[in-house]
Structure 1
Amino acid sequence: MTQKIVPNLWFAGNAGEAGQFYSAALPWAAAHVAMRYPDELPEFQKGFEGEPVVVDLDVAGFRVTMINSDDTFRPTPSISFVLNFDPLLFEGDTDAARAALDKTWAALSDGGQALMPLGEYPFSPHYGWVQDRYGVSWQLMLTDPTGEPRPFVITQIMFSGDAQNQAREAVDFYMSLFDDAAFGTVVQYPEASGTAAAGSVMFGEFRIGEHWFSFMDSNVEHQFGFTPGVSLEIRCAGQAEIDHFWGALSAVPDAEQCGWLVDRYGISWQIVPENMGELLAKPGAYQRMLGMKKLVIADF
């Protein structure tokens, strides 16, 4: 699968442990340490020498990057991950798909909390939303095999708080930045519902390349919003692409650091070169990167 955007999850010093946890808890999952901290670190990172800095997680071909750092940020349910337990993935056996969903739910619930209890809902005969022990949110859904096929993992973005009722505007903007983007199903609220305005998005889908997202305007007031605890990383082919996405997305100058930015809706992004690992392998490159806002390949 061509995945232009890679979700990044922020962990408080336990990304290596979390990689082992997800490898056991999720179907078709494996994690490996992709990069370690160098031996010489600035004062604010002392104690991480030689520890993992990046752990890559693959779930059924879907990539997630886990960042090992301090406890500055935490994920929130504003960006979650839908796991589609389609019976077609289990040789057409609905009972096997349900059993796999239940096993995954039990693993993710251990030390976590249910946001929507596992049960029957109008949109799925077997569904639940859980925030795991690390604060990462997952939606597990038994999928109708007669519907249009979707990948096992879909990134969901929920707009609430300061971004309430901006889901369609935001997604239109994001899609305008990519050449290969298209909508799937989009369902609007026919009338106002809680915090959701009439005509806002009850449920929507879009894809960038082969990477599917879902999006919605919440109709419930939440005490959380977007944070750098879950960021979206765009891997760029060269400096021109970095410049393109950085110029379009960055809207909070104080948030610009080491390739990170925050957009006009509050979502955190990382705009990085595809060969980031190769660039950071150069002597002194890590320290030079710490002094950058937008990443400049020639300065590594």
Structure 2
Amino acid sequence: MPTITPCLWFDTEGQEAAEFYVSVFPNSEIKNISYYGEGAPRPAGTVLTVEFGLDGKDFMALNGGPEFTFDEAVSFTIDCADQEEVDYYWAKLSEGGAEGPCGWVKDKYGLSWQVVPTALNELLSDPDAGRAQRAMQAMLGMKKLDVAALRAAADGKA
């Protein structure tokens, strides 16, 4: 079975970004760094790729140049067990980045993340369509998702 590894294209900050992500997520590590050699499109000895793992999931950072940048067409979802986890990841990833609507945040490297409490999926799939709709409407008005406010809205108490 082949391995599928997301490759994140950076201009020159691939190693810095990988080190940042490894510092944010538990059970994470830098696995390997490769460098440009002589005759390459970048100076010999500069970082080409960084292979890293985030809590058991493999990634690669590629210092490919300024031609491509991230946009919201690709994002990574972080399923958070509770508000404490939402608050932690939101704070870490939004620092130097930008807060977006509905639990989306863009980090300082321009990569988009969805910081989502597992309670949201439970509420949105509630068999009571009214509860699900009220939770959806509450979410649409939020930046960082607030579990207590989502539950209150679902229950018609917001």
The TM-score, its normalising length taken from structure 2, stands at 0.81
| C-alpha separation in 1, matches of 2:43 and 2:78 | 31
Secondary structure in 2 aligned to 1:170? helix
Deviations 1:216-265 (A, max 9, x none): 1005x52x310000011111111111111101111344x42110011111
| C-alpha separation in 2, matches of 1:192 and 1:243 | 46
**Matched-pair identity in %:** 37
| C-alpha separation in 1, matches of 2:97 and 2:29 | 27
Q: Which residue of 2 aligns with 1:209?
A: 55
The answer as to whether partners of 1:205 and 1:212 remain within 8 angstroms in 2 is yes
The answer as to whether partners of 2:21 and 2:54 remain within 8 angstroms in 1 is no
> Following superposition of structure 1 onto structure 2, how do residues 12-23 of structure 1 map, counting pairs within 5 Å?
none
Q: Which residue of 2 aligns with 1:265?
A: 109
- For residue 199 of structure 1, report the CA deviation from its aligned partner: 4.1
| C-alpha separation in 1, matches of 2:97 and 2:25 | 21
The TM-score, its normalising length taken from structure 1, stands at 0.44
- Whichever structure has more strand as a proportion of its residues is 1
Cα RMSD of the aligned pairs, angstroms, is 2.0
- Is 1:154 the counterpart of 2:5 in the alignment? yes
- Whichever structure has more helix as a proportion of its residues is 2
- Is 1:236 the counterpart of 2:83 in the alignment? no
Deviations 1:57-88 (A, max 9, x none): xxxxxxxxxxxxxxxxxxxxxxxxxxxxxxxx
Q: How many residues in Structure 1 have an aligned counterpart in Structure 2?
A: 143
| C-alpha separation in 2, matches of 1:165 and 1:237 | 34
Deviations 1:116-149 (A, max 9, x none): xxxxxxxxxxxxxxxxxxxxxxxxxxxxxxxxxx
Q: Which residue of 1 aligns with 2:143?
A: 293
| C-alpha separation in 1, matches of 2:86 and 2:31 | 27
Q: 1:291 to 1:186 in 2, by over 3 A?
A: same
Letter in 1 for 2:14: A
The answer as to whether partners of 2:123 and 2:135 remain within 8 angstroms in 1 is yes
